[in-house]
């Protein structure tokens, strides 16, 4: 069983906003367990988690970059990112503790990214 994480990135006034999970006093990326015995890909697990969180329409979602992020126990997790233009629509559909926050507000979380692991899908 592997942990995987994801975020959605949108821009408003040239400021990036990330979809994150609000915890008691900090923010985390959405993370889920990948169950290899279920014959589901890691991307499928992430999309299922977004569906459970209330996302109904993925038609405008564009997969961005695959990176790595430090997990709770210092382990590295793959991090999927998606880009969207209409983040307000996604925010309205969400239920629970997922929300869009500006990069400035989640600086501590962004420092857990491992940039050397970035892979742009258009480079493949």
CATH number for the domain spanning 9: value is 3.90.79.10
Rg (CA), the chain: 14
Q: How many domains does the chain divide into?
A: 1
Range of the domain at 87: 2-123
Residue 64 has pLDDT above 70, yes or no: yes
Beta 62-70 vs 76-83: how paired, if at all? antiparallel
- Alpha carbon distance 89, 10 (integer Å): 12
Contacts of 21 (CB under 8 A, 6+ apart): 27, 28, 29, 30, 97, 98
Q: Give the length of the chain.
A: 124
pLDDT-based confidence at residue 11 (cuts at 50, 70, 90) = very high
Closest CA to 89 of 55, 59, 45: 55
pLDDT band at 3 (very low <50, low <70, confident <90, very high): confident
pTM: 0.84
Tell me, what's the pLDDT at 113?
86
């Amino acid at each position: 069983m592997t942990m995987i994480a994801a975020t959605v990135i949108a821009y408003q006034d040239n400021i990036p906003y990330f979809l994150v999970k609000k915890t008691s006093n900090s923010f985390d990326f959405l993370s889920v367990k990948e169950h290899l015995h279920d014959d589901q890909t890691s991307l499928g697990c992430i999309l299922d988690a977004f569906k459970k969180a209330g996302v109904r329409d993925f038609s405008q979602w564009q997969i961005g970059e695959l990176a790595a992020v430090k997990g709770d126990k210092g382990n590295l997790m793959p991090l999927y990112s998606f880009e969207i233009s209409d983040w307000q629509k996604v925010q309205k559909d969400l239920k629970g503790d997922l929300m869009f926050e500006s990069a400035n507000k989640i600086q501590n979380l962004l420092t857990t990214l491992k940039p050397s692991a970035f892979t742009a899908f258009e480079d493949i």
